[in-house]
């Protein structure tokens, strides 16, 4: 392979646009605004598939038959409950702990109880992926109740993944509409090719770390405000603005200060993120049910003003991304802002697991060895032998 591949630059562009591996899991067309999981459009999946179907699709590469889905869903249901020791450990954390820190800290605990941990076969990784996907939602719901001083609610095995999560969170069985709304949110967030957290998961897996170590790392990456943390930050902004008539002033001041508007713009999409209109439609539906339009009106105004300002200031189009409308959707479902990013995690865990499996078990020519880039050293340099080391006692 002596063919040269040339890029405008590699250093300091965060690897944008640089292909580092092959994947069969999902594909994004940033210009057309298309997202597909395993060849199926996100619109079809959001419109017609459940989260469980999508998890199966991501893990196994094809849509399940009816009996395959039944079997898989039953396995997911059977894996939901946490060891009592894990609930006790959760109860030992201060109620002020960040929910993302709780998820990241609990995933390595789940490993302690996984009987497949020492088995590095593909089948073992698939079983671990299933347990982790089932249990992360339980961890989040349990933690939320614990921090509110409530007793965790045990999972039910007669509810789908989304409905059961809402049940464990509130102790009440959700309406079919609420359950399907969350189900669609989970479908929308389940994968997005080599985003920052998925790349983190794959990178950790490339050292042959196990599934849980890889996913715990990915949770760390997702927690940042430039990644999954953005949806919480969007909601904080909406709350801070407080009313539609204050939007223009707020956005202009932020842009004047050179700050970014959270949830607007995307690393890959140069047009509208295809997940955004689906979330917007669900928010509108939720608003029409509750009758409270205030937050959605502010949200839509933030989008309009930001787009207008970008056109005026930079002659540039900017579009809302998935984080822009997921917050408002969750908020209208009665969910607190600091759960938005963890709820991203309980869906994306499916994608992370699928990518870890691909990283570990793809053909060698489709994936790299350990990801180990280089840095350009720009620090102190005194030649091969190093700078003169003055012993401590002579340093004064």
Q: Can residue 32 be called a binding residue for its own copies (CB under 8 A)?
A: yes
For residue 28, what are the β-bridge partners?
A: 35
Tokens (6 digits) for 379:
């620090």
Closer of 113 and 292 to its own copies (Cβ): 113
In the numeric block, which tokens belong to residue 303? 């989008």
24 interacts with its own copies by CB under 8 A: yes
Is the CB of residue 234 less than 8 Å from the CB of residue 263? Answer: yes
Q: Is 172 in the site for its own copies (CB under 8 A)?
A: no
Q: Which one of 29, 173, 281, 336 is in contact with its own copies (CB under 8 A)?
A: 29
The yes or no reply on residue 121 touching its own copies (CB under 8 A) is no
Which of 53, 273, 300, 309 lies at the binding interface for its own copies (CB under 8 A)? 53
Nearest to 352 by CA among 249, 213, 165, 166: 213
Minimum distance from CB of 286 to its own copies (Å)?
25
Nearest to 114 by CA among 154, 147, 82: 82
Distance CA 102, CA 82 (A): 14
Q: Which of 171, 111, 163 has its CA nearest to residue 137?
A: 163
Q: Does 244 bind its own copies (CB under 8 A)?
A: no
User: Among 254, 251, 344, which residue's Cα sits nearest to residue 303?
Assistant: 251
> Whose Cβ is closer to its own copies: residue 158's or residue 393's?
393
The answer to whether 359 and 122 have CB atoms below 8 angstroms apart is no
109 belongs to the binding site for its own copies (CB under 8 A):
yes
Interaction between residue 367 and its own copies (CB under 8 A): yes
Task: Pick one of 161, 171, 222, 325: the residue that binds its own copies (CB under 8 A).
Answer: 222
- Segment near its own copies (CB under 8 A); pick from 72-80, 91-99, 126-134, 283-291: 91-99
Burial tier of 336 (Cβ tally within 10 Å: 0-12, 13-18, 19+): middle
Provide the mask over 268-297, with x wherever binding to its own copies is found by CB under 8 A and - wherever it is not: x-----------------------------
323 an active-site residue?
A: yes
Q: Which is nearer to its own copies, 205 or 295 (CB)?
A: 205
How many residues can be counted in the chain? 396
Q: How far is the CB of 213 from its own copies (least distance, A)?
A: 4
Here the tokens at position 342 are: 């963890």
Known catalytic residue: 44?
Answer: no
Shortest approach of its own copies to residue 255 CB, angstroms?
A: 18
Q: Which of 210, 266, 273, 355 is an active site residue? A: 266
Report the alpha-carbon distance of residue 323 to residue 165 in Å, rounded: 20
CB of 354 to its own copies, least distance (A): 11
Active site residues: 266, 323
């Amino acid at each position: 392979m002596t063919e040269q591949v040339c890029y405008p630059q590699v250093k300091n562009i965060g690897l944008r646009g640089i292909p580092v591996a092959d994947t069969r899991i999902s594909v994004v067309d940033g210009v057309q605004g298309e997202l597909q999981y395993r060849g199926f459009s996100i619109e079809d999946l959001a419109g017609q598939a459940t989260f469980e179907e999508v998890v199966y699709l991501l893990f196994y590469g094809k849509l399940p038959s009816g009996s395959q889905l039944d079997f898989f869903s039953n396995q997911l249901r059977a894996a939901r409950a946490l060891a009592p020791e894990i609930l006790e450990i959760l109860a030992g954390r201060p109620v002020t702990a960040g929910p993302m820190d709780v998820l990241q800290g609990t995933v390595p605990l789940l490993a302690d109880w996984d009987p497949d941990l020492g088995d590095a076969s593909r089948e073992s990784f698939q079983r671990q992926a299933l347990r982790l996907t089932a249990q992360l939602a339980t961890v989040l719901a349990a933690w939320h109740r614990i921090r509110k001083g409530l007793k965790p609610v045990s999972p039910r095995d007669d509810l789908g993944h989304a409905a059961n999560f809402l049940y464990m969170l509130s102790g009440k069985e959700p309406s079919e509409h609420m359950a399907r709304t969350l189900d669609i949110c989970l479908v929308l967030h389940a994968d997005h090719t080599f985003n920052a957290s998925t790349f983190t998961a794959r990178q950790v897996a490339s050292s042959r770390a196990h599934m849980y170590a890889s996913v715990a790392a990915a949770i760390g990456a997702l927690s940042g405000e430039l990644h999954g943390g953005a949806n919480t930050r969007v909601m904080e902004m909406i709350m801070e603005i407080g009313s539609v008539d204050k939007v223009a002033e707020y956005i202009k001041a932020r842009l004047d200060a050179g700050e970014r508007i959270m949830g607007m713009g995307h690393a890959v999409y140069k047009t509208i993120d295809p997940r955004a209109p689906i979330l917007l439609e669900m928010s509108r539906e939720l608003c029409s049910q509750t009758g409270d339009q205030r937050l959605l009106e502010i949200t839509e105004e933030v989008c309009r003003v930001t787009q207008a300002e970008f056109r005026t200031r930079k002659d540039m189009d900017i579009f809302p991304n998935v984080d822009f409308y997921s917050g408002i959707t969750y908020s209208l479902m009665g969910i607190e802002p600091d759960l938005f990013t963890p709820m991203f995690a309980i869906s994306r865990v499916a994608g992370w697991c699928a990518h870890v499996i691909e990283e570990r078990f793809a053909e060698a020519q489709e994936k790299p060895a350990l990801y180990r880039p280089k840095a350009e050293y720009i620090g102190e340099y005194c030649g091969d032998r190093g700078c003169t080391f003055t012993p401590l006692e002579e340093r004064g």
